[in-house]
Amino acid sequence: MGLGVLTFITDEGIGPVELGRALEERGFASLFLAEHSHIPVNAKTPYPMGGPIPRKYYRTLDPFVALTAAAVATENLLLGTGIALVPQRDPILTAKEVVSLDLVSGGRFRFGVGVGWLREEIANHGVDPKVRGRVVDERLRAMIEIWTQDEAEFHGDFVDFDPIYSWPKPITRPYPPLYLGGGPASFQRIARLEAGWLAMSPSADALSGQLEELRAAAGHDVPVIGSHLGNQSSKELEGYLPLGLEQVLVELPTEPRDETLRRLDELQAEFAKLA
C-alpha cells in the first residue's frame, strides 16, 4: 500500500516542482491534485464540508499543468488528479492532456475523475448540472475511443464527432488508469467503465463497509485509492493496511514552502511507524 498526499496547489503555497521533489525525497508514493476552474461569486450550492468555500478552491492551478511540472522534477512519484471535473472539460482536449501527461511522466499518471458538486461552476461551462452524470459517462467513453482507436468517433447526446485522428496514444495500455470519485452512487458507473474507485473517508472503519458494496458491484479486484480525511497518526492509518488498497492519500494543507516541508517531515515520521 503506497502512501501519498492529496492537495490544492495555488499561487499562495508551495509550487509543484518543489513539492514533487520533497515528496519523492521523503519516500512518499504519490501526489494527487484537486481541480476547480473557478468559484462563482454568488454560488448557492452548500459546501459539502460545511461553512464557506475555502480560499484555496478559487486559487488552484490547473492540475495538468502542475502535475506536468512535478513529473519533470521527479522520477518515481505517481501523479494523479483528485479529481478532474469531467463535466467542465472538453473531452477531445482532455484526452490529449491525459495522454500527454502519461507520456511526459513515463506512465506515472492516474486519471481520477468526478461529476462535481458545485452546480453553478458546472453551469458556467454550459452543462446542465442535472445531467452531469450522463455527461461524464459519455465524455469518458469518448475519451476511451480516442485513446484506443486510430480513427475515433463518438455519437451521443452530449458528445458527437465523426472520425478523428488524435495522437499520441497512451504509453500505458490500453490507457492511463481511470479512477472515479464519489460514493456508492458511482459504483455502477465504475463497474460499467471497468475503472477504479477514488474514495474519501474519515477512517478505515467507515470505508470497509463501502468496499464490500463496491466489490459486489465491480468485482473483488477493482482498484481502490483511499483519501483519508481524519487524524493522520500512524494508529489511524494502520487500519487501512488490511483493506487491499493501492494507495492511501492524506490531505496536505495548502501552505508556503517552509510550513509544507515541516508538515511533510511530520507525516514521514508517522508513515515510518507503519513499516
Could you tell me if 122 and 95 are in contact, meaning their C-beta atoms sit under 8 angstroms apart? Answer: no
Is 0.95 topped by the overall pTM? yes
- 192-247 pLDDT tens trace: 999 999 999 999 999 999 999 999 999 999 999 999 998 899 999 999 999 999 99
Q: Return d(Cα 167, Cα 241) in angstroms, integer.
A: 39
- How many other β-carbons are positioned within 10 Å of the β-carbon of residue 201? 19
C-alpha distance from residue 31 to each of 3, 77, 148, 251 (Å): 9, 7, 26, 10
Helix (H) or strand (E) holding 109: strand 109-114
Q: What is the mean pLDDT of the chain?
A: 96
Q: What does the pLDDT read at residue 275?
A: 64
Which residue range forms the structural domain that includes residue 260? Answer: 2-272
CATH assignment at residue 20: 3.20.20.30
Question: For residue 75, what is its C-alpha cell?
Answer: 522520477
Could you tell me if 255 and 14 are in contact, meaning their C-beta atoms sit under 8 angstroms apart? Answer: yes
pLDDT confidence tier of residue 181, bands split at 50, 70 and 90: very high
Count of domains forming the chain:
1
Q: What does the pLDDT read at residue 230?
A: 87
User: Radius of gyration (Cα) for the chain, nearest Å?
Assistant: 18
- 67-91 pLDDT tens trace: 999 999 999 999 999 999 999 999 9
The residue type at 272? A
State residue 163 phi and psi, 5-degree precision. Answer: -50, 135
- 38-54 pLDDT tens trace: 999 999 999 998 999 99
